[in-house]
Each structure stands twice: as C-alpha cells, then as structure tokens.
Chains A and B, each alone.
Chain A
Amino acid sequence: MGLIEFKAVSKYYESAGERVAALKDLNLNIEAGEFIAVMGPSGSGKSTLLNILGGLSHPSVGEIRVDGIDIYRLKGEKLADYRREYIGFVFQSFHLIPYLTILENVMLPLAIIPCRNGDRREMAVQVLEKVRLAEKSRRLPNQLSGGEQERVAIARALVNNPPIILADEPTGNLDSATGKEIMGLLSELNSEGQTVIMVTHNPENARFAHRIVQLKDGEVQE
C-alpha cells in the first residue's frame, strides 16, 4: 500500500448547464519519498488532481487514501487538520501574505498549532536558513525578487514538516536560472524524504522527477 492512493476518482464540473469531467476514473498510487511530475495541457485536470489530493476540493466519485486515511470521509474540520498535518502547498504565484514579514509568513502554518512562540520562531528560522533567506526574514514580500518569494513559499510549505509537498507550477513565474534553483531545492527536499508532487508544463522541470504522470482530458496517459 502506497502513501497516496487514488481509487476510481472522478470530478465533474457544471459549466453552462453541461457536465464537464475534469478527472475521469483516476487510479494512481504514489509511494512515500517519490517525486512525481504531473504534466499535460491546460484543462487536462492537473490542478484538479492537486486540489483533490490537497484536501481542497471534494471528488465527485471515488476515494483518496493518504497514509491509510480516506480523507473525504473525515468529519467536520478534520479535513483542515489533514491539510495542516500532511500537506505543504507551494503555489505558482507564491501567495505570500503581503502585510506579514518573511518570517511571519513562514511562521503562519505554526500559528494554529499549540507550541511556544519561541519554538515557532526557531522552526521558521531553521527552514529560512535551508532556503538561504534567513538574513531577509524581516522584510516584506514585495521587497524580495520572484525567486526569493518562491523560496519563502517553499519554506512556509516545509515549516511544519509535512510528509507531502504539493507544488503547482513552482517555476511558472520565474526566469529559467531561478527556476532551476527552485527545482534543485525541491529535489533536495525530496532526497531528504519528503514526497513531492509537482504540476508543471515544463519538460525541463520534469527531468527532476522520478515519475511523470501524463494527463489528457482528465485521464492518465500511460
């Protein structure tokens, strides 16, 4: 049994009165420690897959098991707890909170776990050191370059040490040199044991992955 199991997962959207399938009968197994690249043209269902795995969007049919838990059967706010404990999101457009400093942005996921504020700070500084941004921790996001902002986003995804990192086009808004740097960082994290699932258009990035899942019209192309 893998870390992540998609069992006959489908997701439909209503669009102009028509039912459109974003994912069709998806079966997928991902082992712990894998680095997966999800590729495919726009509208092929890549982001839908990531959202469903990230506990953000319910599938229409099927089940997803993570670490043996059927996540969409979790009651009440347990799904939010699942996101907090298992998932670190890295978004294409960084999604940093503009009015919080770099350090505060990284500490954000820790704000809702019971621990001492000093410990929170220490954990955040540690991951900022990992992405080599510790010295800029007091700045606001708009005072950083795109590559630096993406590194902050990665640090934030890592700070509570989730087993799974979900990255949605992590280099989409970056120049190729910075993009490579970010891919190197993700690869490094993966080698340290984190499972990375990355959505990308870029075949260059896909080379960092152990396995490529090719999607077309919501179906896996083996």
Chain B
Amino acid sequence: MRLHNISINNLRRRKGKAIFLIIGLLIGVTTVVTLITLTRAMEEDIGKKLDELGANIIIIPRSHDLALNYGGLQFSGVALDVKPLHQSDLSKIRSIKNNENLSIVAPKLITSAKINGNEALLVGANFREELRLKKWWKVLTPDSERKSISDRRGSDGMKHVQSPQGTSAYLLRNSLTEKDLLVGSAAAHHLNLHEGTSVDIQGQTFQVRGILEETGSQDDALIFADLSKVQRTLGKEGQLSLIEVAALCNSCPIDEIVKQISEVLPGAKVTAIKQAVESRMETLRHFKRFSVGISAVVLLIGSLIVFTTMMASVNERTREIGIFRAMGFRKGHITQVILLEAFLIGLLAGAMGYLAGVGSSRLALPFFLQVQESKIGWDLVMALSAVGISVALGLTASIYPALRAARMDPAESLRAI
C-alpha cells in the first residue's frame, strides 16, 4: 500500500469518472494527432505533386536587349552579345550544392524550321525529362481527336466545352524514339498533321507519334522533337535556347538554388518562378494554421473537462480527504494522490488518443487525397509527444483542484456529508 495504490484504486473502482476524464483528453489528443498526421501526409503529397507539376526555375541566355525606336518603327529585342546556352551547362547545373533538390532538368532548343514546306516553331527537347515536367500533357487518341475537332463546332454552331479524354503523354516516355514528334494542337491543326503522319524537316523524315491535347499555353503552337536529333538536323550541335528546372521545393530554399545556378552559369539569366512556388506553399500554410487553431480549441475544451471533473471529484471526496489528513497525510501527500490520478489519466488518454488519431487519419486520408493506399505509418516521436501533451494538460488542469484538496481544513472536511 503506497500513495499510488490510492490513485490507481480510485480510478479502477470509480470507472465511470475515470472514463469520462479519459474521453475528455482523448478527444483532444485524437483531434491533434489526426490533424497533424493529415497535414503532414497532405504536405508530402502536395509537395510531391506540385514539385513534379512543372518548372519553377527557368534558365535563358543572358542578353543585353535594347529597345530601339528608329524612324518611328519599334524594334524590340535587339539582342547584343548573346551567349547561347550549351549542352555542357547541364552538368554544371547538376554540380551545384543543392543538387539533391533538383528533380527535373529539361533542356530545350527552340528554333524555326521548314516543316512540310511550312515555317513552324520546332522544339528540340529531352522527351524523358520533358514528359516528367509536363505531366498534364495528354495525347489525343485517334477517336478523341476526331471528337475534339467535331466538337469545335457542334450542329448548333456553338462551341462545346466538353473536353476530349486523351491518354497521358507520360506513358509514352519510354517508347519515343529520335524520329518521333509530339505536335501541339494548334500546330497540328495549322499544318494538318495527324498521328502517324510522316513529316519532312530540313530533308529528314520524322513521324508524328501524338497530337497533344489543347493546353492553352505556348505548347499548343509548338512541335516537339528529340533534342539531339534537332541539334544535328539544324546544324546546332550542343546549343540550347533554354533550360527548365523543377526543384523539389517542399523544403528547399529556392533563392539559394537560383544563386547557385547563377554562379555556375555566369552567362545565363536564372529566374525563379517564385510566385507559383510561394502560392503552393501558402495554401499548405493556411491549412496548417487552421489545424493549429482547431487543435488549440479542442485541447482547451479537453482541459476544461478535466478541470471541472477534477474539481467535482475533489468536492465529492472532501470527507475522504479529511480522513487522510486526520491520519497524518501531509498536504503534499494529498496533492500527490490527485496529481498521480491526473498523470495516469493523461497517460492513458495520450496513448489511446495517438492510436485513435492514426486510425482516424487513415480513414480520413482518402477523403482529402485521391490515394488508395494509406501512407500513414507509426511515428514514435509523434506518439511520445501525444502522451507528453496529454499528461501535461491533465496535470495542468488538475493543479488547482489538487491544491484546493490539500488546503481543505481537515476538521471541516470530516464534517462534510
């Protein structure tokens, strides 16, 4: 028989009250664990998706452009002293300190070329990198191609908004050869190109592997071909017009990466598409702030439940406390008994709350993210923090009730009915 036996037995034999106290804290801990786990999973998922969604750094040759107004005519972009980018710059980019954060490096050579006798914009690109960068690209299937064209003007003469369902161009990444072309929708329409059409570019024969679904961007007007093939065909070996870089920016310092690339490529202009990255992160930040707010409120309510229940319990046990005091228990002993109960309640609620939190976030995750498999694992640090917070709140909420119990006048307490 020690002091802790009093606490344990009281909880064991007054189960109703103990369960009520545990539930009070449990709801709080479960909510916090759920929100944190969900936020983390979403952060990871969004971060991953967004990082792969497109470039966030663009590298172009540095040129000293002058706008020239000559005889009332506007000449813009009179390029002086242009240092073109070179194939060898790619390995320089890969050599920066934050290389690990570089997810995709997609070089491009943009040039005009005679295609079937018509002038068009040709882009030499590394298909593998390009398709990873532009995961939203869809290739029209022959079926949807027809539909897309017929949809442009329906029988009522109105433009239909129904979008054709193409297949993801990403699926082609391993099967594209250097003779293949991917053609933007506007270019295909303009040059009357279809999947399978053979195309002559500067005397070389290429084949259209796919027509890209309309994206609404500059890509619609472009024809994409293999980079080295384009370089060779047009006699521009090693030359690049621009390099798009996607950095994994969930945690990386984008400004730092821009600085590092600028250092290794002094002749290039490195620009971060900062806004896009920042707005991605901002959304997450809002959700986090919201989570913190909700967590704080729920924990506060949990603590209040513990506080009021403990106060009621202390009042109910007034006579019991009087008996303890009459037996020679010091004030400290009484405080110990009450706080030990709070500690045990906190411990149980914390452990159960963690389990419940992980369980409920696993259940809730599919509603937040379109993922089938659950990626939420067990996390010891989180489990310990959950128990720690629960115990701390349980104890904090019980300090006043415990002190009140200890300060009760023993003679008065014994008279209580």
Contacts and interface: CB of A to CB of B under 8 A. Distances in A.
A123 B409 CA distance: 30
A108 B328 contact: no
A95 B13 CA distance: 17
Most A Cβ at <10 Å: residue of B14, B320, B326, B328: B328
A39 B6 CA distance: 36
Contacts of A87: 326, 328
Contacts of A84: 327-329
Most buried by A among B324, B333, B414: B414
B410 interface: yes
B1 A77 contact: no
A95 B414 contact: yes
Given A80-B331, A91-B414, A99-B10, A104 B325 contact: no
Nearest to B13: A99
A58 B14 CA distance: 34
A208 B331 CA distance: 36
Contacts of B327: 83-84, 89, 108-109, 156
Interface stretch (A49-57, A61-69, A172-180): A49-57
B329 A112 contact: yes
A120 B410 CA distance: 25
B411 interface: yes
B3 interface: yes
A54 B410 CA distance: 10
A22 to B, nearest CB: 11
A108 B329 CA distance: 10
A51 B411 contact: yes
A107 interface: yes
Which of A51, A91, A111, A121 has its CB near the most chain B CB atoms (within 10 A)?
A111
B328 A100 contact: no
B9 interface: yes
Given A83-B326, A85-B328, A111 B2 contact: yes
A75 to B, nearest CB: 13
A129 interface: no
Contacts of A28: none
A167 interface: no
B138 interface: no
B326 A100 contact: no
B253 interface: no
A199 interface: no
Given A80-B328, A81-B328, A83-B326, A112 B3 contact: yes
Given A56-B410, A100-B9, A104-B5, A77 B331 contact: yes
B1 A95 contact: no
Label chain B's interface by main secondary structure. helix
A54 B326 contact: yes
Interface residues of A, number: 32
Max chain A C-beta neighbours (<10 A), residue from B2, B330, B333: B330
B323 interface: yes
B319 interface: yes
Interface string A79-122: 01111110101010001011110011001111110000100110
Contacts of A103: 1
- Which residue, of A80, A81, A103, A107, has the highest number of chain B Cβ atoms within 10 A? A80
Contact of B332 (A54, A77, A100, A121): A77
Nearest to A84: B328
Nearest to B331: A77
A84 B323 CA distance: 12
A97 B327 CA distance: 12
A95 B319 contact: yes
A80 B328 CA distance: 4
A89 B10 contact: no
Contacts of B13: 98-99
Contact of B9 (A82, A91, A104): A104
Interface in B1-26: 1-3, 5-6, 9-10, 12-14
B325 A56 contact: yes
Contact of A111 (B1, B332, B409): B1
Contacts of A156: 327
B333 A112 contact: yes
Contact of A120 (B1, B326, B331): B1
11 contacts: A57-B411, A77-B330, A80-B325, A89-B327, A95-B323, A97-B323, A99-B13, A99-B14, A100-B6, A111-B3, A117-B1
Interface of B: 1-3, 5-6, 9-10, 12-14, 319-320, 323-333, 409-411, 414
A-B pairs with the 6 shortest C-beta distances?
A84-B328, A107-B1, A99-B13, A83-B328, A56-B411, A57-B411
Given A91-B414, A117-B1, 18 more contacts: A56-B410, A57-B410, A57-B411, A77-B331, A77-B332, A83-B325, A83-B326, A89-B326, A89-B327, A91-B323, A95-B319, A95-B323, A99-B12, A99-B13, A100-B9, A104-B5, A104-B9, A112-B3
